[in-house]
Chain A
Amino acid sequence: MSSARRAGPGGVGWGGTLSGPERSGDAGSDRLADATGRMLRLLGWACLVLTALVCLAPPVVIVLGGLSEGSPFGGLDLTVAPWLRAIDSPQTLSSIGYSFLLSLRVPVALVVAFTVAWYLARNDVFGKRTIMYVLWLAFFLPILPATLGWILLLDPNFGLVNQFLHRIAGIKPFNIYSLGGITWLHVTLSTIPIMVILIEPAQRLIDASYEEASTMSGAGTFTTLRRVTLPLIAPTLLTALIAALIKALEAFEVEQLLGVPAGILVYSTRVFNLLEVVPPDDPQAMALSTFFLALLFALIVPYRLMLQRSLMMATLTGKGARLLPRQRTRGSNVVSGLLFLTLAVTVLVPFSMVAVSSFSKLFGFYNIPDPWTLGHWRDVLGSPEFLNSLTQSILVGLVVAGAGTILYLTLAWFIARNPLPGKSLLSLAIWLPWAIPGVLLGSAFLSLYLNVPGLRFVYGTVFALMIVLIVQGLPFATHMFEASIGQVGRELEESSLMAGASRFETVTRITAPLIAPMVASILVLSFMAAMKDISATVLVATPGTATLPLLMFSYATSGQLERAAVIGVVTVVVAVIMALLATTLGDRSAVAMNSGPRITVE
């Protein structure tokens, strides 16, 4: 296997008859095959270069935009004035400070998530499947309705919990419009769920015999955890940490909804603020963004390097765990109970509040006579803008999911399987959008649409949204595809070549079906990303092209919370359906993913 695994200079390199004078046999058809092979490779390379350019464009626009007054396209006139304005502005400085404070939740959440994931992976916990499923759901659900739900519960004045406590104890202790409120929402609905989802399978895939060997050497549970388990799972933890840090910096809608009323501006909302005030100060927004871009880049480059080294060190996904989870005990039942309770409070309660509020006449006022109504539903569902947004959302979602998945898979396959010149630089370039917060990515693309000749027609159409969303999803999806293609043994593809299939046929008939669960996940994730995105599209969308989440966002920020709740319920229903689809698709198409087929003795 080791020889077959050899990547890089192995594989099929130069593609054959490079204008050879002498040839024999049925050289005609051979030459044809060579030409196709070379064409394919050229196509892949061109595709990669083009994508890298598209990914490189936004950061270039941002950096140059921060160094010039006016548009960087209208003649470059380098100046540091925007930077000086940014440094002078106390709001800018405080937004950096608040962003930093809010990102402190990530390391804390990582500790919690690792503990939960480790416990779930190594112990037989009652209802484990349900727990994992609810975590997925939490990750899938759009965060805006949940924010609305928590506003309902913890608003300092009319929040139900505060009202209740006021009645029995005379206090209103909670205020959702605060740093604590923002942190609470993120930690419970995105940071911890996604980390557990990422870490738990990785933990399960680490061959338990590593841990058993440590136990047999006399180490206790804690020593084993510290000296064997943690170093082995470090790459996954690092990925989770970096991804969550970036997510924390680019989080937008919660901060806008909860932070702005309390006077808390973070980096992303400050950028939005600078772009939306009259007159907008694009250069200062770009200058501030350049600072964060540099920061994120400084995180990503060492992370990429470390990831490469750890991949070379060991592939842990091999035989799978042989260790049977420790038996169910009273302790594990208590843990299971606690997890269920926590998930009920953090996931189910806020969303049921949204559902309740979509049927209430006025948010939080239930002591008025006859507080319930179907009016909001009638209003929203009957409005032309809802129907328009719904069709836009579905259209954008389907195109982004379909075209995106094909693009991501193609790129990942070329990166994983072909020696291309300049490959490592190109693959670093396609990581760039990961480091650019949605609002900023949207604004960079907006200025590209408006200023690059020939792109003007895109502005004001749904294509504008689709392009931004596809680029935004690119780094993560390509990375996931790359990883799962890496798990498909090279010999499985080579045997198809030997059977006479071309590379293209091999990918469509062997590789893609083998990684079908991943294809299904990426399809659904891309669709959901398009269905719930606000930050990347909020600046790009025009009135005619607004999607469902943007409509909800505009309702929510203009005080029409009940209407926003109606759309929230619709989106949640879509999300639940998609989550179910994802799991069934994944289960049905799952095949043995080991490098060779699993050997089952009869």
Chain B
Amino acid sequence: MRLVITELTKDYRAAAKDRAHGDRPALDNVSLEVNDGEFFTLLGPSGCGKTTLLRCIAGLEVPDRGEIRLGERVIFSSAARINIPPNRRGLGMVFQSYAIWPHMDVAENVAYPLTVRTRRKNYPRSEVDRRVGELLDLIQIRHLANRKATMLSGGQQQRLALARALVMEPPVLLLDEPLSNLDSRLREDLRLELMRLQRKLGVTALYVTHDQSEALAMSSAVAVMKDGRIEQIGTPEELYDFPGTRFVASFLGAANLLKVRILAARPHPTAARGACFRFEVETEWGARFAALGRASFNAGDSVTAAIRPEGIRLDVAEPGTGAERRPWAAVVETAQFLGESIDYQLNIGNQLLRTRCDRSRHFAVGEKVTVGLREEACTILAD
């Protein structure tokens, strides 16, 4: 079901005098739309307001201003003074701590949403059993049905929490950093599992995470948040290829940010989506390169370029050819072996440049190299 959030604001300072929440509201005029069947992710560093937003949608926090609409139904509106309590919103939620009830076994945990007073009459015992069994099958923990919930591993608890949130077929599933307590291997397995289930059931999912790789891998749309505001909304590819702000560029893929001057700008014909420009730019130390961008600038403007580490190619600077004195000459400062790739930090024009290279070439610390840039890996930011 479609979820529309309009100008939502939540400020803890208004309610409590000395709560240490920094100077900004937890949510500052947030608007967004989540379409039916979408896997929508709220991404941002801790304290950016993404969990507060999720809890406001759940009904567990009350926003100060704004409106939340679920399909045709208004579930919160400060103007109309509507605030549907969380147990009447009918949303499913997976908590960061899983919140598995330790005094029930696995099947009882899953059956709970069907046995609450408001739904009990609609679900006879046999129907409850059937649906619980179905879900446990789907989530692949049928064999644990009668186990005490405290006797589950982290991954199994995660699956159980998911089953419990899905059993009543909610129109929207809310997920609050559900994978953050798992080890990296399990996290990847469950990530795939989550995507499979979401697609199979067609449920609209709203997912909160601070992990950019999770956000890029799973989502059909991502909203990047910072300080209670939305920085940018888009598909993972859009956000990655055309970050709008320095924050988005550095948060997604840890891009290098360089101050550059525009030499020339012209429309880029090959861009698939939306308006696009191709810029010739020059760095402060006089190195020139080409970059793409969504915002229009004129020659002579000072702007910021984002260069993603994997778009940088390194070559050995042959001594005696003069290559080491060219603007693209650099020195390797550090090298980090990451398994499938190697990260280098380069010193170029007295700035640090992060690069990520495959393992076909290996450079030693202190070695002189020349740098080449891939055009698609360079973006001119709007701010």
Contact = CB atoms under 8 A, between A and B. Distances in A.
B154 A601 contact: yes
Contacts of B73: 24-26
Interface string A494-520: 111111111101000110011010000
Interface in A481-497: 489, 491-492, 494-497
Nearest to A19: B81
Interface in B70-111: 71-75, 77, 80-88, 90-93, 95-103
A383 interface: no
B88 A20 contact: no
Interface string A20-58: 111111110110011001000000000000000000000
A592 interface: yes
Given A9-B12, A491-B97, A598 B82 contact: no
Interface string B268-310: 0000000000000000000000000000000000000000000
A21 B85 contact: no
Contact of B72 (A25, A37, A494, A513): A25
Contacts, number: 176
Given A26-B73, A600-B150, A3 B87 contact: no
A510 B74 CA distance: 29
B103 A4 contact: no
B150 A592 contact: yes
Contact of B103 (A27, A34, A498, A513): A513
Given A24-B72, A502-B118, A516-B103, A489 B83 contact: no
B60 interface: yes
B26 to A, nearest CB: 9
B82 A489 contact: no
A239 B100 CA distance: 33
A494 B161 CA distance: 13
A34 B152 contact: no
Contact of B102 (A17, A18, A24, A592): A592
B62 to A, nearest CB: 5
Given A15-B85, A496-B112, A499-B164, A4 B150 contact: no
Interface footprint category on B: 35 or more
Contacts of A10: 12, 55, 60-61
A591 interface: yes
Given A489-B97, A494-B95, A597 B74 contact: no
Interface string A564-602: 000000000000000000000000000110011111111
Contacts of A591: 102-103, 150
B118 A500 contact: yes
B93 A9 contact: no
Contacts of B98: 596-597
B243 interface: no
B164 A495 contact: yes
A23 B161 CA distance: 33
Given A12-B62, A600-B152, A498 B85 contact: no
A4 B176 CA distance: 11
A280 interface: no
B96 A1 contact: yes
Contacts of A495: 93, 95, 99, 101, 161, 164
Given A15-B85, A492-B101, 12 more contacts: A1-B96, A4-B97, A16-B85, A23-B80, A25-B74, A29-B88, A33-B84, A489-B99, A496-B112, A497-B87, A514-B102, A600-B152
| Closest A-B pairs by Cβ, 3 of them | A25-B73, A9-B15, A499-B113
